[in-house]
């Protein structure tokens, strides 16, 4: 199990530095009924991430065993496609960032967080996982790594859960700090402003960096 977790661990970095889930949690916490909505968001995020990771691992684990040191064509194709998508998104972010003048405004989806019901918060968490190629790519890559170890069900579940929790620490931190303090944490408005101010830069460098990583990994496997 620990070997599998170690192989997946580098991909947890992409989840840890992703600004979108952290920004969403902070925005929910400062809204009406924020703690409840943030808790719903985080539970949904953990469950959907775990399910996606396990499904990928099961599919890979049931595929024919690959030769040592060999990468299946489908795996390299997935890496190349994800890399290209991330680089295209990085280009779009860069163009938008360059054209923007004046103070940074929150993305459109953040405007609805104040009036979002707990039920709709579930949908938001699922969309932010599936529609964000970096988060999706990290989970798929980790699932591929986990599936190759062909662990027993219990060990596979434990490794997957540990990975998801590790990759979600930065998202869980604001809610846990607020819960532990027993009141609204004073750092939340400052953290919200900082994330909004640097959202473009964080999103660009994260998407660009992991796009290069996935594209290089896929191309090297084909050479």
Q: Say which range, 71-75, 162-166, 214-218, has the weakest mean pLDDT.
A: 71-75
pTM: 0.84
Cβ atoms of 65 and 209 within 8 Å: the answer is no
Residues 6+ apart with CB under 8 A from 41: 24, 25, 28, 121, 122, 124, 125
- Residue 86's pLDDT band (cuts 50, 70, 90): confident
Cβ atoms of 213 and 90 within 8 Å: the answer is no
pLDDT (0 to 100) of residue 66 = 62
Q: Say which range, 23-27, 46-50, 100-104, 196-200, has the weakest mean pLDDT.
A: 100-104
Task: List the domain boundaries for the chain.
Answer: 2-222
Q: Which of 27, 46, 44 is nearest to 116 (CA)?
A: 27
Burial annotation 131-161 (CB, 10 A radius, 16+ → b, else e): ebbbbbbbbbbbbbbbbbbebeeeebbbbbe
Q: What is the DSSP string of 165-192?
A: HHHTHHHHHHHHHHHHHTS--THHHHHH
Question: Of 73 and 114, which is predicted with more confidence?
Answer: 73
Angle at 52 between CA 51 and CA 55, to 5 degrees: 80
**Mean pLDDT score of the chain, rounded to an integer?**
83
The label of the residue with tokens 């938008």 reads 96
- Quote the CA–CA distance of 36 and 175 in Å, as a whole number: 10
């Amino acid at each position: 199990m620990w070997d599998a977790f170690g192989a997946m661990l580098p991909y947890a970095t992409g989840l840890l530095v992703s600004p979108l889930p952290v920004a969403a949690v902070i925005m929910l916490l400062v809204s009406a009924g924020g703690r409840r909505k943030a808790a719903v968001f985080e539970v949904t995020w953990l469950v959907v991430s775990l399910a996606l990771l396990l499904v990928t691992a099961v599919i890979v684990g049931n595929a024919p065993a690959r030769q040592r040191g060999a990468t299946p064509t489908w795996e390299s194709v997935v890496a190349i496609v994800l890399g290209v998508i991330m680089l295209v998104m990085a280009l779009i972010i860069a163009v938008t960032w360059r054209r923007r003048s004046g103070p940074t405004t929150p993305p459109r989806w953040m405007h609805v967080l104040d009036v979002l019901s707990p039920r709709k918060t579930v949908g938001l968490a699922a969309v932010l996982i599936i529609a964000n190629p970096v988060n999706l790519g990290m989970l798929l890559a980790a699932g591929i790594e986990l599936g190759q170890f062909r662990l027993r069900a219990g060990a596979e579940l434990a490794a997957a859960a540990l990975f998801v929790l590790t990759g979600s620490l930065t998202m869980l931190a604001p809610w846990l700090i607020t819960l532990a303090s027993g009141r609204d944490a004073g750092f939340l408005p400052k953290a919200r402003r900082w994330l909004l101010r640097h959202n473009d830069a964080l999103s660009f460098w994260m998407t660009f960096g992991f796009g290069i990583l996935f594209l290089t990994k896929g191309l090297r496997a084909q050479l």
